[in-house]
Structure 1
Amino acid sequence: MTAVLREDITVEEPVLSDRLIGWLLTIGGLVGALAAFILTVEKIALLKDPSYTPSCSINPILSCGSIMTTGQAEVFGFPNPLIGIAAFPVVAATGAAVLAGVRLPRWWWLAVQAGTVFGIAFVHWLMFQSLYRIGALCPYCMVVWVVMIVLFSYLVLYNAERGHLSAPAGLTDALLRVHSVVPTVWVLAVTALIGVEFWDYWRTLL
């Protein structure tokens, strides 16, 4: 936080403004919802015609068609993208409400945070399955991976800064000073895992 002096009163300005978190939630929610919608449309097309080639099946590695036919694509008995269709609009609506100046209660922020905890755990399980069990990547799914990493990282910091979550002040302040580094390093680490796992294929393209 940055201390500023206003009319002889020192006020702590938050590092993560409501406007910043509002835009992150709105854009992230819309991008995630769009990716989930496209995946659902592709899944329906594949169900109608098993010979259909999804638009995100580009090569042997970038092939969501290979993933859609696996059990991992329907963990809860229905296509995974339906979770995104239900959840991401809530995230986008939360961001829009913040941008409109609505003061959301603590329980709402904790509920959204709980949703991102489930989401980040789920996408990392899907990452593992894609990399080490199925051996293929879904481009639209990877968009969701990035969205979830960014949303989770910033929501944790925002909620900690606003006091919605209990966290060590020193750790929170340190992470807030480099808030963009957290999701950036995270995404780069995932990218590195992808590069290493499929290196034999990537080098044939060089």
Structure 2
Amino acid sequence: MSLQKFIVRTLLKLPDNLLVKMSGGKPRAIDGRILDARAQFLAAQGARQPSITTLDPATARAGSKNGLALLDGALHPGVEVSELQVPGPGGPMDARLYLPAGAQGPLPGLVFFHFGGCVIGDLDTCHVFCSMIAGIAGCPVLNVAYRLAPEHKFPAQVEDAVAAYRWANDNAERLRMAPGRIGVGGDSAGGYLSAVVAQTAKREGFVPPALQLLIYPVTDWNWKGGSMD
């Protein structure tokens, strides 16, 4: 563990009142809900850094990767992780398959897309989280690295998400997933991509996702409001 990671983890173990004091002095309330003291502390530290929207993509990606590494935990016990590639409209996409301990299949599965505004993020972004889903829910999880902007302009990300989901259904046995019982999920931009996969399935008539795991998804273009604050 790096010294920086050790310091961050030690600070996050401080009592809530101290963390709040170090983050502006008062608990932050949004829409009648009190923000967790650790989340408030991390948000306060992040506010001292340049806004990610002011950075070029390479710098934003590196900063995000380094910041997330400070908070990363261990993989869920017993989850088996393997690397693979998924065919996509722009070429092969890197992916990771997370299998719960003792998985025999076919099991309900999940195709997961990471956050990052479709600009930042990679397979490591939600690596630990995907292992937790697999281990706790007892389902295989396919984590897909879709193409990113600005190198790959819209709708490349949507096309990749749709292709990955359809490939998972066509190759369910290999993934130890049950055809027709495969869901889509993701956080932020990943939630947006998941929702669009479901909409595309309805419009084009292919097998729809069995469920949508949408974690603070982007669902409109109104960037103001309590959740964004």
Give the shorter-chain TM-score range: under 0.3
TM-score (norm 2): 0.24
Between structures 1 and 2, the one with greater strand share: 2
TM-score (norm 1): 0.26
Between structures 1 and 2, the one with greater helix share: 1
